[in-house]
Structure 1
Amino acid sequence: MSTSSNPSGVWDCHTHIYGPWEQFPLPANAAYTPAPAPFSDLLTMHRKLGISHGVLVQAAPYGTDHSAILAAIAGSQGHYRGVGIIDESTTDAQLQMMHDGGLRGIRFNLMGHLPGARDPEKLRRLAERVASFGWHVLVHGELPTLIPFLQAWKNLQTPLVIDHMARPDLTQPIDAFLMAELRSELSQGNRWIKLSGIDRAMQGAPGPWPQALDDVRSLLESAPERAIWGSDWPHPNIKGPVPNDAQLLNFITQVCDSPALQQAVLIDNPARLYT
Protein backbone atom coordinates (compact mmCIF):
# COMPACT_ATOMS: atom_id res chain seq x y z
CA MET A 1 0.00 0.00 0.00
CA SER A 2 1.74 3.17 -1.12
CA THR A 3 0.92 6.62 0.22
CA SER A 4 -0.24 7.65 -3.23
CA SER A 5 -2.82 4.86 -3.55
CA ASN A 6 -4.28 4.38 -0.10
CA PRO A 7 -7.85 3.05 -0.13
CA SER A 8 -10.60 5.32 1.10
CA GLY A 9 -11.10 5.34 4.81
CA VAL A 10 -7.55 5.34 6.20
CA TRP A 11 -7.35 6.59 9.80
CA ASP A 12 -4.53 8.45 11.54
CA CYS A 13 -5.40 7.76 15.17
CA HIS A 14 -2.90 10.03 16.91
CA THR A 15 -2.53 13.72 16.13
CA HIS A 16 -2.38 16.95 18.11
CA ILE A 17 -3.29 20.49 17.18
CA TYR A 18 -2.08 23.78 18.68
CA GLY A 19 -3.65 27.12 17.91
CA PRO A 20 -4.22 29.33 16.06
CA TRP A 21 -3.20 31.26 19.16
CA GLU A 22 -5.69 34.08 18.56
CA GLN A 23 -8.53 31.55 18.77
CA PHE A 24 -7.08 28.92 21.11
CA PRO A 25 -4.34 30.47 23.27
CA LEU A 26 -2.30 28.35 25.65
CA PRO A 27 -2.90 28.80 29.38
CA ALA A 28 -0.23 30.48 31.45
CA ASN A 29 0.64 27.18 33.15
CA ALA A 30 0.93 25.13 29.91
CA ALA A 31 2.83 21.85 30.30
CA TYR A 32 5.07 22.90 27.40
CA THR A 33 5.02 25.57 24.69
CA PRO A 34 4.74 24.04 21.21
CA ALA A 35 5.01 25.68 17.84
CA PRO A 36 1.62 26.46 16.30
CA ALA A 37 0.10 23.49 14.45
CA PRO A 38 -3.49 24.33 13.52
CA PHE A 39 -6.04 21.87 12.20
CA SER A 40 -5.72 23.32 8.70
CA ASP A 41 -2.08 22.21 8.57
CA LEU A 42 -3.03 18.70 9.70
CA LEU A 43 -5.67 18.50 6.97
CA THR A 44 -3.07 19.48 4.39
CA MET A 45 -0.79 16.65 5.51
CA HIS A 46 -3.63 14.13 5.57
CA ARG A 47 -4.85 15.04 2.10
CA LYS A 48 -1.32 14.70 0.74
CA LEU A 49 -1.03 11.18 2.16
CA GLY A 50 -4.54 10.05 1.25
CA ILE A 51 -5.71 9.89 4.88
CA SER A 52 -9.42 10.62 5.21
CA HIS A 53 -10.06 10.17 8.94
CA GLY A 54 -8.23 11.20 12.07
CA VAL A 55 -8.22 11.35 15.85
CA LEU A 56 -7.27 14.53 17.69
CA VAL A 57 -5.68 13.65 21.01
CA GLN A 58 -6.02 16.47 23.52
CA ALA A 59 -2.66 18.20 23.80
CA ALA A 60 -1.29 18.35 27.36
CA PRO A 61 -0.71 22.15 27.26
CA TYR A 62 -4.46 22.73 26.93
CA GLY A 63 -5.28 20.65 30.01
CA THR A 64 -9.01 20.00 30.22
CA ASP A 65 -9.96 22.85 27.84
CA HIS A 66 -11.06 20.99 24.70
CA SER A 67 -12.11 24.05 22.69
CA ALA A 68 -9.52 23.55 19.94
CA ILE A 69 -10.25 19.90 19.18
CA LEU A 70 -14.02 20.29 19.54
CA ALA A 71 -13.99 23.12 17.00
CA ALA A 72 -11.89 21.05 14.60
CA ILE A 73 -14.11 18.00 14.93
CA ALA A 74 -17.22 20.14 14.38
CA GLY A 75 -15.78 21.34 11.09
CA SER A 76 -14.69 17.91 9.86
CA GLN A 77 -18.04 16.61 8.54
CA GLY A 78 -17.76 13.57 10.79
CA HIS A 79 -14.31 12.51 9.60
CA TYR A 80 -12.46 13.25 12.85
CA ARG A 81 -12.89 12.17 16.45
CA GLY A 82 -11.20 13.16 19.69
CA VAL A 83 -9.60 11.80 22.84
CA GLY A 84 -9.77 14.11 25.83
CA ILE A 85 -8.28 14.73 29.24
CA ILE A 86 -10.57 14.82 32.27
CA ASP A 87 -10.16 15.00 36.02
CA GLU A 88 -12.34 14.51 39.07
CA SER A 89 -13.97 17.91 38.57
CA THR A 90 -15.32 16.96 35.12
CA THR A 91 -19.10 16.68 35.32
CA ASP A 92 -21.38 14.17 33.62
CA ALA A 93 -22.91 17.05 31.67
CA GLN A 94 -19.46 17.99 30.39
CA LEU A 95 -18.81 14.38 29.40
CA GLN A 96 -22.08 14.33 27.47
CA MET A 97 -21.13 17.57 25.72
CA MET A 98 -17.75 16.10 24.80
CA HIS A 99 -19.40 12.94 23.50
CA ASP A 100 -21.85 14.95 21.40
CA GLY A 101 -18.83 16.88 20.11
CA GLY A 102 -17.09 13.74 18.87
CA LEU A 103 -14.85 12.61 21.72
CA ARG A 104 -14.62 8.85 22.14
CA GLY A 105 -11.99 8.39 24.83
CA ILE A 106 -9.76 9.93 27.47
CA ARG A 107 -5.99 9.80 27.89
CA PHE A 108 -3.97 9.01 31.01
CA ASN A 109 -0.41 10.30 30.94
CA LEU A 110 1.94 8.14 33.00
CA MET A 111 5.08 9.67 31.48
CA GLY A 112 7.23 11.63 33.89
CA HIS A 113 7.51 14.70 31.65
CA LEU A 114 3.73 15.17 31.34
CA PRO A 115 1.21 16.29 33.95
CA GLY A 116 -1.49 13.96 35.20
CA ALA A 117 -2.67 11.83 38.09
CA ARG A 118 -0.72 8.65 38.86
CA ASP A 119 -2.99 7.02 41.47
CA PRO A 120 -4.37 3.77 39.98
CA GLU A 121 -7.61 3.95 41.96
CA LYS A 122 -8.34 7.57 41.03
CA LEU A 123 -7.64 6.82 37.40
CA ARG A 124 -9.78 3.70 37.56
CA ARG A 125 -12.74 5.76 38.78
CA LEU A 126 -12.34 8.09 35.80
CA ALA A 127 -12.10 5.09 33.46
CA GLU A 128 -15.29 3.63 34.90
CA ARG A 129 -17.12 6.93 34.46
CA VAL A 130 -16.52 7.07 30.72
CA ALA A 131 -17.50 3.43 30.12
CA SER A 132 -21.20 4.33 29.97
CA PHE A 133 -20.48 6.52 26.94
CA GLY A 134 -18.83 3.62 25.13
CA TRP A 135 -15.46 5.36 25.40
CA HIS A 136 -11.99 3.89 25.82
CA VAL A 137 -8.94 5.00 27.80
CA LEU A 138 -5.67 5.75 26.02
CA VAL A 139 -2.83 4.91 28.43
CA HIS A 140 0.54 6.55 27.76
CA GLY A 141 3.46 5.15 29.72
CA GLU A 142 6.62 3.08 29.55
CA LEU A 143 6.38 -0.65 30.16
CA PRO A 144 7.81 -0.74 33.73
CA THR A 145 5.22 1.85 34.81
CA LEU A 146 2.41 0.66 32.58
CA ILE A 147 2.31 -3.06 33.39
CA PRO A 148 1.42 -2.61 37.11
CA PHE A 149 -1.44 -0.30 36.12
CA LEU A 150 -2.77 -2.78 33.58
CA GLN A 151 -2.54 -5.62 36.07
CA ALA A 152 -4.37 -3.55 38.69
CA TRP A 153 -7.17 -3.04 36.16
CA LYS A 154 -7.58 -6.70 35.17
CA ASN A 155 -11.34 -6.61 35.65
CA LEU A 156 -11.89 -3.10 34.29
CA GLN A 157 -14.53 -3.29 31.57
CA THR A 158 -13.55 -0.04 29.85
CA PRO A 159 -11.39 -0.74 26.78
CA LEU A 160 -7.75 0.31 27.20
CA VAL A 161 -5.59 1.43 24.29
CA ILE A 162 -1.85 1.18 24.96
CA ASP A 163 -0.31 4.29 23.50
CA HIS A 164 2.83 4.44 21.34
CA MET A 165 3.53 0.70 21.80
CA ALA A 166 4.25 1.35 25.53
CA ARG A 167 7.22 3.50 24.56
CA PRO A 168 9.87 0.78 24.06
CA ASP A 169 13.50 1.58 23.29
CA LEU A 170 14.00 -0.55 20.19
CA THR A 171 17.65 0.40 19.94
CA GLN A 172 18.34 -1.80 23.00
CA PRO A 173 17.57 -5.44 23.81
CA ILE A 174 13.94 -5.70 24.85
CA ASP A 175 13.05 -6.87 28.35
CA ALA A 176 11.57 -10.26 27.46
CA PHE A 177 9.57 -10.54 30.69
CA LEU A 178 7.88 -7.16 30.28
CA MET A 179 7.13 -7.81 26.63
CA ALA A 180 5.59 -11.15 27.54
CA GLU A 181 3.43 -9.35 30.11
CA LEU A 182 2.37 -6.82 27.46
CA ARG A 183 1.43 -9.59 25.03
CA SER A 184 -0.54 -11.27 27.80
CA GLU A 185 -2.46 -8.05 28.37
CA LEU A 186 -3.13 -7.76 24.65
CA SER A 187 -4.65 -11.24 24.63
CA GLN A 188 -7.62 -9.79 26.52
CA GLY A 189 -10.54 -8.69 24.40
CA ASN A 190 -10.64 -5.13 25.72
CA ARG A 191 -6.93 -4.31 25.32
CA TRP A 192 -5.79 -2.47 22.20
CA ILE A 193 -2.35 -1.40 20.94
CA LYS A 194 -1.47 1.76 19.02
CA LEU A 195 1.42 0.98 16.68
CA SER A 196 2.69 4.55 16.68
CA GLY A 197 5.84 6.36 17.74
CA ILE A 198 8.37 4.27 15.85
CA ASP A 199 10.63 7.34 15.59
CA ARG A 200 10.52 7.67 19.37
CA ALA A 201 11.18 3.96 19.83
CA MET A 202 14.23 4.32 17.58
CA GLN A 203 15.47 7.24 19.69
CA GLY A 204 15.16 9.75 16.87
CA ALA A 205 17.08 7.75 14.27
CA PRO A 206 15.91 8.61 10.75
CA GLY A 207 13.69 6.17 8.86
CA PRO A 208 12.78 3.85 7.25
CA TRP A 209 13.57 1.67 10.34
CA PRO A 210 13.62 -1.83 8.76
CA GLN A 211 15.40 -3.17 11.85
CA ALA A 212 12.23 -2.52 13.90
CA LEU A 213 9.76 -4.34 11.66
CA ASP A 214 9.88 -7.67 13.49
CA ASP A 215 9.41 -6.12 16.94
CA VAL A 216 6.39 -4.12 15.85
CA ARG A 217 4.94 -7.09 13.97
CA SER A 218 5.14 -9.14 17.16
CA LEU A 219 2.87 -6.61 18.86
CA LEU A 220 0.51 -6.57 15.90
CA GLU A 221 0.31 -10.36 15.98
CA SER A 222 -0.76 -10.17 19.64
CA ALA A 223 -3.97 -8.33 18.73
CA PRO A 224 -4.45 -7.90 14.97
CA GLU A 225 -8.12 -7.08 15.41
CA ARG A 226 -7.33 -4.47 18.10
CA ALA A 227 -4.32 -2.68 16.62
CA ILE A 228 -4.43 0.86 15.24
CA TRP A 229 -1.89 3.39 13.96
CA GLY A 230 -1.19 7.09 14.37
CA SER A 231 1.38 9.51 13.00
CA ASP A 232 1.78 11.61 16.19
CA TRP A 233 1.78 14.76 14.02
CA PRO A 234 3.19 17.39 14.64
CA HIS A 235 5.58 15.28 16.76
CA PRO A 236 5.91 17.24 20.02
CA ASN A 237 8.74 16.63 22.49
CA ILE A 238 10.79 14.33 20.28
CA LYS A 239 14.47 13.48 20.05
CA GLY A 240 16.18 14.13 16.75
CA PRO A 241 14.66 15.52 13.55
CA VAL A 242 10.95 15.64 12.88
CA PRO A 243 10.05 12.38 11.11
CA ASN A 244 8.55 12.31 7.65
CA ASP A 245 4.85 11.45 7.91
CA ALA A 246 4.82 9.62 4.58
CA GLN A 247 7.68 7.47 5.86
CA LEU A 248 5.73 6.71 9.04
CA LEU A 249 2.73 5.59 6.99
CA ASN A 250 4.95 3.49 4.75
CA PHE A 251 6.47 1.84 7.82
CA ILE A 252 3.13 0.71 9.20
CA THR A 253 2.06 -0.63 5.80
CA GLN A 254 5.24 -2.74 5.81
CA VAL A 255 4.48 -3.94 9.34
CA CYS A 256 1.04 -4.97 8.06
CA ASP A 257 2.47 -7.34 5.48
CA SER A 258 -0.82 -8.37 3.91
CA PRO A 259 -3.75 -6.45 2.43
CA ALA A 260 -6.01 -7.91 5.13
CA LEU A 261 -3.82 -6.57 7.94
CA GLN A 262 -3.56 -3.16 6.28
CA GLN A 263 -7.34 -3.06 5.98
CA ALA A 264 -7.71 -4.00 9.66
CA VAL A 265 -5.14 -1.65 11.20
CA LEU A 266 -5.65 1.39 8.99
CA ILE A 267 -9.39 1.22 8.32
CA ASP A 268 -11.59 -1.37 10.03
CA ASN A 269 -10.21 -1.42 13.59
CA PRO A 270 -10.20 2.37 14.08
CA ALA A 271 -13.59 2.75 12.44
CA ARG A 272 -14.94 0.31 15.03
CA LEU A 273 -13.16 1.92 17.99
CA TYR A 274 -14.13 5.51 17.13
CA THR A 275 -17.74 4.95 16.04
Structure 2
Amino acid sequence: MQFEKTPGWLDWYAGPSKPRFKVPAGAVDAHCHVFGPGAEFPYAAGRKYTPCDASKQQLFALRDHLGFARNIIVQATCHGADNRALTDALAHSGGRARGVATVKRDISDAELNALHEVGVRGVRFNFVKRLVDFTPRDELMEIAGRVAKLGWHVVIYFEAVDLPELWDFFTALPTVVVVDHMGRPDVSKSVDGPEFELFMKFMTQHSNIWSKVSCPERLSVSGPPALHGEQNPYPDVIPFARRIVETFPDRVLWGTDWPHPNLKDHMPDDGLLVDFIPHIAVSAELQHRLLVDNPMRLYWQET
Protein backbone atom coordinates (compact mmCIF):
# COMPACT_ATOMS: atom_id res chain seq x y z
CA MET A 1 0.00 0.00 0.00
CA GLN A 2 1.32 3.43 -0.96
CA PHE A 3 0.82 6.50 1.23
CA GLU A 4 1.49 10.09 0.21
CA LYS A 5 2.90 12.11 3.09
CA THR A 6 1.21 15.26 4.32
CA PRO A 7 2.22 18.35 2.28
CA GLY A 8 4.97 20.34 4.02
CA TRP A 9 6.12 17.36 6.04
CA LEU A 10 9.89 17.40 6.50
CA ASP A 11 11.81 14.15 6.17
CA TRP A 12 14.01 13.27 9.12
CA TYR A 13 17.63 14.40 9.03
CA ALA A 14 19.54 11.66 7.22
CA GLY A 15 23.10 12.64 8.22
CA PRO A 16 23.12 13.37 11.95
CA SER A 17 26.39 14.60 13.39
CA LYS A 18 28.32 12.63 15.98
CA PRO A 19 27.52 14.25 19.34
CA ARG A 20 30.31 16.02 21.19
CA PHE A 21 28.66 14.93 24.43
CA LYS A 22 29.26 11.26 25.19
CA VAL A 23 26.25 9.79 26.94
CA PRO A 24 26.91 7.50 29.91
CA ALA A 25 27.06 3.74 29.38
CA GLY A 26 23.59 2.23 29.29
CA ALA A 27 21.88 5.49 28.25
CA VAL A 28 18.26 5.29 27.08
CA ASP A 29 16.62 7.40 24.37
CA ALA A 30 13.29 7.54 26.19
CA HIS A 31 11.07 9.05 23.48
CA CYS A 32 11.18 8.04 19.83
CA HIS A 33 8.85 6.55 17.22
CA VAL A 34 8.62 4.23 14.26
CA PHE A 35 6.42 5.11 11.28
CA GLY A 36 5.37 2.15 9.19
CA PRO A 37 6.84 1.50 6.75
CA GLY A 38 3.36 2.03 5.37
CA ALA A 39 3.64 -0.84 2.89
CA GLU A 40 4.11 -3.24 5.81
CA PHE A 41 2.23 -1.49 8.63
CA PRO A 42 -0.48 0.72 7.07
CA TYR A 43 -1.30 4.07 8.63
CA ALA A 44 -4.67 4.45 10.37
CA ALA A 45 -7.64 5.46 8.27
CA GLY A 46 -8.64 8.24 10.68
CA ARG A 47 -5.15 9.74 11.08
CA LYS A 48 -4.62 13.52 11.18
CA TYR A 49 -1.37 13.31 9.17
CA THR A 50 0.60 10.94 6.96
CA PRO A 51 4.31 10.83 7.84
CA CYS A 52 7.37 9.74 5.94
CA ASP A 53 8.34 6.14 6.66
CA ALA A 54 10.79 5.68 9.54
CA SER A 55 11.68 2.05 10.12
CA LYS A 56 12.96 0.12 13.12
CA GLN A 57 16.26 -0.49 11.31
CA GLN A 58 16.76 3.24 10.83
CA LEU A 59 15.87 3.92 14.47
CA PHE A 60 18.31 1.33 15.78
CA ALA A 61 21.06 2.64 13.49
CA LEU A 62 20.51 6.13 14.94
CA ARG A 63 20.61 4.71 18.47
CA ASP A 64 24.03 3.20 17.82
CA HIS A 65 25.34 6.32 16.04
CA LEU A 66 24.37 8.58 18.96
CA GLY A 67 25.86 6.20 21.54
CA PHE A 68 22.67 5.05 23.26
CA ALA A 69 22.09 1.51 24.49
CA ARG A 70 18.29 1.38 24.51
CA ASN A 71 15.11 2.99 23.20
CA ILE A 72 11.62 3.71 24.45
CA ILE A 73 9.37 3.61 21.38
CA VAL A 74 6.13 5.57 21.71
CA GLN A 75 3.13 4.70 19.57
CA ALA A 76 2.58 7.36 16.91
CA THR A 77 -0.87 8.89 16.46
CA CYS A 78 -0.75 8.16 12.72
CA HIS A 79 -1.04 4.45 13.60
CA GLY A 80 -3.96 4.96 15.98
CA ALA A 81 -4.49 1.95 18.24
CA ASP A 82 -2.89 -0.45 15.75
CA ASN A 83 0.34 -1.18 17.62
CA ARG A 84 1.82 -3.65 15.12
CA ALA A 85 4.66 -1.39 13.94
CA LEU A 86 5.56 -0.73 17.58
CA THR A 87 5.44 -4.35 18.68
CA ASP A 88 7.40 -5.49 15.63
CA ALA A 89 10.16 -3.04 16.54
CA LEU A 90 10.17 -4.25 20.13
CA ALA A 91 10.31 -7.88 19.04
CA HIS A 92 13.37 -7.17 16.87
CA SER A 93 15.21 -5.02 19.44
CA GLY A 94 16.99 -7.85 21.21
CA GLY A 95 15.50 -6.70 24.49
CA ARG A 96 16.95 -3.22 24.05
CA ALA A 97 13.63 -1.43 23.61
CA ARG A 98 10.44 -0.96 25.57
CA GLY A 99 7.21 0.55 24.32
CA VAL A 100 4.33 2.90 25.07
CA ALA A 101 1.15 1.81 23.27
CA THR A 102 -2.21 3.31 22.40
CA VAL A 103 -5.16 1.14 23.37
CA LYS A 104 -8.94 1.38 23.38
CA ARG A 105 -11.46 0.42 26.00
CA ASP A 106 -12.41 -2.83 24.26
CA ILE A 107 -8.90 -4.31 24.39
CA SER A 108 -8.94 -7.73 26.07
CA ASP A 109 -6.83 -8.79 29.03
CA ALA A 110 -5.13 -11.31 26.76
CA GLU A 111 -4.18 -8.55 24.32
CA LEU A 112 -2.81 -6.39 27.15
CA ASN A 113 -0.77 -9.32 28.43
CA ALA A 114 0.61 -9.94 24.92
CA LEU A 115 1.70 -6.29 24.73
CA HIS A 116 3.38 -6.66 28.12
CA GLU A 117 5.23 -9.77 27.00
CA VAL A 118 6.71 -8.02 23.96
CA GLY A 119 7.87 -5.07 26.07
CA VAL A 120 5.10 -2.48 26.37
CA ARG A 121 5.17 -0.72 29.73
CA GLY A 122 2.82 2.23 29.27
CA VAL A 123 -0.10 3.77 27.40
CA ARG A 124 -0.29 7.22 25.90
CA PHE A 125 -3.19 9.65 26.22
CA ASN A 126 -3.00 12.53 23.75
CA PHE A 127 -4.86 15.77 24.47
CA VAL A 128 -3.39 17.89 21.66
CA LYS A 129 -6.54 18.70 19.72
CA ARG A 130 -4.85 19.17 16.35
CA LEU A 131 -3.48 15.62 16.51
CA VAL A 132 -6.31 13.48 17.86
CA ASP A 133 -10.05 13.38 18.34
CA PHE A 134 -11.58 13.63 21.81
CA THR A 135 -11.74 10.43 23.86
CA PRO A 136 -14.15 10.41 26.85
CA ARG A 137 -12.26 10.72 30.11
CA ASP A 138 -14.16 7.88 31.73
CA GLU A 139 -12.84 5.59 29.01
CA LEU A 140 -9.27 6.79 29.59
CA MET A 141 -9.63 6.37 33.36
CA GLU A 142 -10.86 2.82 32.86
CA ILE A 143 -7.85 2.04 30.67
CA ALA A 144 -5.50 3.60 33.23
CA GLY A 145 -6.95 1.41 35.97
CA ARG A 146 -6.45 -1.73 33.93
CA VAL A 147 -2.85 -1.02 32.91
CA ALA A 148 -1.92 0.06 36.44
CA LYS A 149 -2.47 -3.56 37.48
CA LEU A 150 0.29 -4.55 35.04
CA GLY A 151 2.68 -2.01 36.57
CA TRP A 152 2.41 0.26 33.52
CA HIS A 153 2.39 4.03 33.54
CA VAL A 154 0.42 6.63 31.58
CA VAL A 155 2.10 9.11 29.23
CA ILE A 156 0.16 12.34 28.73
CA TYR A 157 0.64 14.83 25.91
CA PHE A 158 -0.97 18.25 26.25
CA GLU A 159 -0.27 21.94 25.80
CA ALA A 160 0.50 24.24 28.72
CA VAL A 161 -2.62 26.39 28.35
CA ASP A 162 -4.80 23.30 28.86
CA LEU A 163 -3.26 22.16 32.17
CA PRO A 164 -5.81 23.96 34.41
CA GLU A 165 -8.69 22.21 32.64
CA LEU A 166 -6.99 18.80 32.76
CA TRP A 167 -5.48 19.03 36.26
CA ASP A 168 -8.17 17.09 38.12
CA PHE A 169 -8.19 14.26 35.59
CA PHE A 170 -4.41 13.93 35.50
CA THR A 171 -4.04 13.94 39.27
CA ALA A 172 -6.68 11.21 39.63
CA LEU A 173 -4.82 8.74 37.39
CA PRO A 174 -3.96 5.66 39.49
CA THR A 175 -0.37 5.08 38.41
CA VAL A 176 2.84 6.87 37.44
CA VAL A 177 2.13 9.69 34.97
CA VAL A 178 4.81 10.86 32.52
CA VAL A 179 4.37 14.25 30.85
CA ASP A 180 5.62 14.58 27.30
CA HIS A 181 7.94 17.51 26.54
CA MET A 182 7.47 19.44 29.81
CA GLY A 183 3.82 20.06 29.00
CA ARG A 184 4.86 22.20 26.03
CA PRO A 185 5.62 25.46 27.87
CA ASP A 186 5.60 28.79 26.07
CA VAL A 187 9.33 29.54 26.35
CA SER A 188 8.82 33.15 25.27
CA LYS A 189 7.38 33.65 28.76
CA SER A 190 9.36 33.76 31.99
CA VAL A 191 10.59 30.52 33.52
CA ASP A 192 9.39 32.07 36.80
CA GLY A 193 6.04 33.14 35.35
CA PRO A 194 2.62 31.84 36.44
CA GLU A 195 2.17 29.38 33.59
CA PHE A 196 5.37 27.43 34.22
CA GLU A 197 4.98 27.83 37.98
CA LEU A 198 1.70 25.94 37.63
CA PHE A 199 3.53 23.06 35.95
CA MET A 200 6.16 23.05 38.69
CA LYS A 201 3.36 22.99 41.28
CA PHE A 202 1.79 20.09 39.37
CA MET A 203 4.96 18.03 39.78
CA THR A 204 5.70 19.22 43.31
CA GLN A 205 2.30 18.30 44.71
CA HIS A 206 2.06 14.92 42.98
CA SER A 207 5.06 12.64 43.44
CA ASN A 208 3.82 10.16 40.82
CA ILE A 209 4.24 12.71 38.02
CA TRP A 210 7.38 12.61 35.86
CA SER A 211 8.42 14.79 32.92
CA LYS A 212 10.34 14.31 29.71
CA VAL A 213 12.72 17.25 29.19
CA SER A 214 12.69 16.71 25.46
CA CYS A 215 11.86 18.43 22.17
CA PRO A 216 13.63 21.80 22.37
CA GLU A 217 13.24 21.90 18.58
CA ARG A 218 9.45 22.03 19.07
CA LEU A 219 9.43 24.52 21.90
CA SER A 220 12.08 27.03 20.83
CA VAL A 221 11.00 30.37 19.43
CA SER A 222 14.55 31.65 18.98
CA GLY A 223 15.28 29.20 16.20
CA PRO A 224 17.56 26.24 15.48
CA PRO A 225 21.21 25.91 16.55
CA ALA A 226 22.43 27.34 13.25
CA LEU A 227 21.26 30.74 14.49
CA HIS A 228 23.09 30.52 17.82
CA GLY A 229 26.08 28.27 17.24
CA GLU A 230 26.29 24.57 17.88
CA GLN A 231 27.71 25.15 21.37
CA ASN A 232 24.42 26.67 22.55
CA PRO A 233 21.51 24.77 20.99
CA TYR A 234 18.00 26.14 21.64
CA PRO A 235 19.03 28.59 24.39
CA ASP A 236 15.48 29.73 25.20
CA VAL A 237 14.44 26.20 26.22
CA ILE A 238 17.43 25.52 28.48
CA PRO A 239 16.17 27.36 31.63
CA PHE A 240 12.88 25.45 31.62
CA ALA A 241 14.41 22.00 31.16
CA ARG A 242 17.25 22.68 33.61
CA ARG A 243 14.85 23.80 36.31
CA ILE A 244 12.85 20.56 36.01
CA VAL A 245 15.98 18.39 36.01
CA GLU A 246 17.43 20.10 39.05
CA THR A 247 14.16 20.16 41.00
CA PHE A 248 13.02 16.62 40.19
CA PRO A 249 16.22 14.69 39.35
CA ASP A 250 14.61 11.29 39.98
CA ARG A 251 11.51 11.94 37.83
CA VAL A 252 12.91 13.10 34.50
CA LEU A 253 13.52 11.40 31.16
CA TRP A 254 15.05 12.54 27.88
CA GLY A 255 14.48 11.45 24.29
CA THR A 256 15.26 12.48 20.74
CA ASP A 257 11.63 12.35 19.48
CA TRP A 258 13.04 10.87 16.25
CA PRO A 259 11.79 11.07 13.51
CA HIS A 260 10.31 14.36 14.72
CA PRO A 261 6.69 14.25 13.54
CA ASN A 262 4.86 17.32 12.31
CA LEU A 263 7.84 19.67 12.13
CA LYS A 264 7.54 22.15 9.29
CA ASP A 265 10.12 24.87 10.09
CA HIS A 266 13.33 22.90 10.44
CA MET A 267 14.38 19.30 10.96
CA PRO A 268 16.86 18.95 13.84
CA ASP A 269 20.22 17.26 13.72
CA ASP A 270 19.88 14.51 16.33
CA GLY A 271 23.56 14.82 17.19
CA LEU A 272 22.98 18.43 18.26
CA LEU A 273 19.95 17.38 20.29
CA VAL A 274 22.24 15.09 22.28
CA ASP A 275 24.59 18.05 22.77
CA PHE A 276 21.64 19.86 24.40
CA ILE A 277 21.77 17.42 27.33
CA PRO A 278 24.75 18.84 29.28
CA HIS A 279 23.11 22.28 29.16
CA ILE A 280 20.12 20.97 31.14
CA ALA A 281 21.78 18.26 33.25
CA VAL A 282 25.01 19.95 34.16
CA SER A 283 26.69 17.29 36.31
CA ALA A 284 27.64 13.68 35.64
CA GLU A 285 25.30 12.60 38.43
CA LEU A 286 22.30 14.41 36.93
CA GLN A 287 23.15 13.06 33.48
CA HIS A 288 23.27 9.49 34.78
CA ARG A 289 19.93 9.84 36.54
CA LEU A 290 18.30 11.40 33.48
CA LEU A 291 19.64 8.95 30.90
CA VAL A 292 20.21 5.68 32.79
CA ASP A 293 18.82 5.39 36.32
CA ASN A 294 15.34 6.85 35.75
CA PRO A 295 14.42 5.11 32.48
CA MET A 296 15.80 1.80 33.71
CA ARG A 297 13.74 2.07 36.91
CA LEU A 298 10.56 2.86 34.96
CA TYR A 299 10.90 0.48 32.00
CA TRP A 300 13.20 -2.35 33.09
CA GLN A 301 12.05 -2.88 36.65
CA GLU A 302 12.65 -6.60 36.41
CA THR A 303 16.38 -6.25 35.66
TM-score (norm 1): 0.93
| Residue identity matched to 1:141 | F
User: 1:210-239 CA distances to partner (integer Å, 9 max, x unpaired)?
Assistant: 233222111222311010001110001024
What's the offset of the Cα at 1:240?
1.1
Q: Which runs of 5 or more structure 1 residues have no equivalent in the other structure?
A: none
RMSD (Å), alpha carbons:
1.8
The residue number in structure 1 matching 2:228 is: none
- The answer to whether the 8 A contact 1:124-1:153 is kept is no
What's the offset of the Cα at 1:28?
3.2
User: 1:104-162 CA distances to partner (integer Å, 9 max, x unpaired)?
Assistant: 10111100111143433332222111100111111000122134323334343311001
Among 222, 242, 245, the residue aligned to 2:270: 245
Equivalent-residue separation in structure 2 for 1:7 and 1:84 (angstroms)? 27
What's the offset of the Cα at 1:72?
0.9
| Residue identity matched to 2:209 | R
The number of aligned residues is 274
| Residue identity matched to 1:200 | R
**Residues 125, 147 of structure 1: CA spacing in aligned structure 2 closer, same or farther, 3 A cutoff?**
farther
What's the offset of the Cα at 1:262?
0.1
Q: Residues 79-158 of structure 1: matches in 2 within 5 Å? A: 79-158=96-175
User: 1:170-195 CA distances to partner (integer Å, 9 max, x unpaired)?
Assistant: 13445822322211221222100000
Is residue 223 of structure 2 the alignment partner of residue 198 of structure 1? no
The residue number in structure 2 matching 1:257 is: 282
Further displaced range: 195-204 or 236-245: 195-204
- The answer to whether the 8 A contact 2:242-2:279 is kept is no
Equivalent-residue separation in structure 2 for 1:159 and 1:86 (angstroms)? 17
Equivalent-residue separation in structure 2 for 1:222 and 1:119 (angstroms)? 33
- The answer to whether the 8 A contact 2:159-2:183 is kept is yes
Among 194, 218, 231, the residue aligned to 2:243: 218
- The answer to whether the 8 A contact 1:82-1:104 is kept is yes
Further displaced range: 197-206 or 88-97: 197-206
- The answer to whether the 8 A contact 1:203-1:239 is kept is no
| Residue identity matched to 1:201 | L
Equivalent-residue separation in structure 2 for 1:259 and 1:35 (angstroms)? 36
* Aligned sequence identity (%): 36
| Residue identity matched to 1:128 | G
The residue number in structure 2 matching 1:161 is: 178
The residue number in structure 2 matching 1:63 is: 80
The residue number in structure 2 matching 1:38 is: 55
- The answer to whether the 8 A contact 1:15-1:231 is kept is yes
Further displaced range: 170-179 or 17-26: 170-179
| Residue identity matched to 2:247 | S
Equivalent-residue separation in structure 2 for 1:87 and 1:230 (angstroms)? 26
